[in-house]
């Protein structure tokens, strides 16, 4: 069965599109797994633009072409769409063995959001260590808890630190992490429903190369621990 995964947030600019492309490219090019991205970050469709410009670059940059050829896999599929229009197409993928990523805009107020959550196997909420990002992520958790996914419960939800700063005091992270866990505990009691939310162990570092080398063709090693943890979680949970 396909696995439908989305990096989501109610806040723009936390890294959804960047981490989607790094994870997808690593899975496809290094691990040789079948991958599709639905690029629903309408209207900018930035992943489709990255792919288009890389295809152009293959024609003019010989060293880029050589590096891409070394990997010897065909580029994975990237399908530009609006979220609501992607829903029936997602169903066509359900019986395949693909990892399907859905890149969405930085808002939950988008047509088709409930149908999208229903189909997800994992929602990964990117978190930055500041109170605004924290609060917006907790709102996203609350929004996801209001929808049921295909298993009739809350979509398995993971909190993932992005742009992790190794020079920052560890307390900054642990304090926010504790506050999140307390909030989730309260939510569980109030709602009397399972709240399926966990922190991922890996923290994606703030790295200029993550920013500069977003590629749909060449994998980026920094993302390897995230991909391993993701695969492990998806296998364990389902």
Ligand X SMILES: Nc1ncnc2c1ncn2[C@@H]1O[C@H](COP(=O)(O)OP(=O)(O)OP(=O)(O)O)[C@@H](O)[C@H]1O
Residues that bind ligand X (CB under 6 A): 9, 12-18, 41, 105-106, 162-163, 204, 206-207, 210-211
CA-nearest of 80, 113, 148 to 9 is 113
- Which of 25, 162 has the CB closer to ligand X? 162
Q: According to CB under 5 A, which residues from 23 to 52 bind Mg ion?
A: 41
Work out whether the CA dihedral 33, 23, 116, 233 comes out positive or negative. Answer: positive
* Shortest distance (Å) from residue 20 CB to ligand X: 8
CA-nearest of 190, 198, 105, 214 to 157 is 198
* Shortest distance (Å) from residue 63 CB to ligand X: 23
- Going from the C-alpha of 138 to that of each of 39, 43, 145, 237, the distances in angstroms are 25, 26, 11, 22
Q: Look at residue 1 and give its three-state secondary structure.
A: coil
Of 17-25, 31-39, 127-135, 196-204, which part binds Mg ion (CB under 5 A)?
Answer: 17-25
Q: How far apart are CA 187 and CA 144, in angstroms?
A: 12
Q: Are 19 and 227 in contact (CB under 8 A)?
A: no
Whether residue 34 is preceded by a cis peptide bond, meaning omega within 30 degrees of 0, is no
- Which of 86, 195 has the CB closer to Mg ion? 86
Q: Site size for Mg ion, by CB under 5 A? A: 3
- Which of 195, 214 has the CB closer to ligand X? 214
- Say which entry of Mg ion, ligand X, none residue 206 contacts (CB below 5 to 8 A, set by partner kind): ligand X
- Which of 113, 195 has the CB closer to ligand X? 113
* Shortest distance (Å) from residue 213 CB to ligand X: 10
Q: Does 17 bind Mg ion (CB under 5 A)?
A: yes
């Amino acid at each position: 069965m396909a696995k439908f995964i989305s990096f989501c947030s109610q806040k723009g600019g936390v890294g959804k599109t960047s981490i989607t492309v790094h994870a997808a490219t690593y899975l496809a090019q290094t691990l040789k797994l079948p991958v599709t991205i639905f690029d629903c970050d309408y209207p900018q469709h930035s992943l489709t633009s990255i792919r288009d410009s890389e295809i152009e670059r293959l024609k003019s940059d010989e060293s880029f072409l050589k590096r891409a050829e070394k990997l010897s896999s065909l580029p994975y599929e990237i399908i530009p769409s609006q979220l609501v229009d992607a829903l029936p197409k997602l169903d066509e993928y359900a019986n395949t063995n693909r990892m399907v990523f859905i890149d969405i805009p930085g808002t939950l107020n988008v047509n088709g959001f409930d149908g999208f959550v229903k189909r997800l196997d994992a929602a990964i909420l990117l978190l930055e260590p500041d109170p605004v990002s924290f609060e917006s992520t907790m709102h996203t958790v609350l929004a996801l808890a209001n929808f049921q996914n295909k298993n009739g419960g809350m979509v398995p939800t993971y909190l993932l630190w992005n742009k992790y700063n190794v020079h920052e005091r560890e307390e900054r992270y642990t304090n926010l992490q504790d506050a999140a866990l307390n909030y989730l505990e309260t939510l569980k009691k109030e709602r009397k429903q399972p709240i399926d939310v966990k922190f991922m162990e890996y923290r994606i570092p703030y790295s200029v190369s993550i920013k500069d080398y977003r590629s749909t063709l060449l994998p980026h090693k920094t993302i390897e621990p995230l991909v391993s943890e993701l695969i492990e979680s998806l296998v364990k949970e389902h």
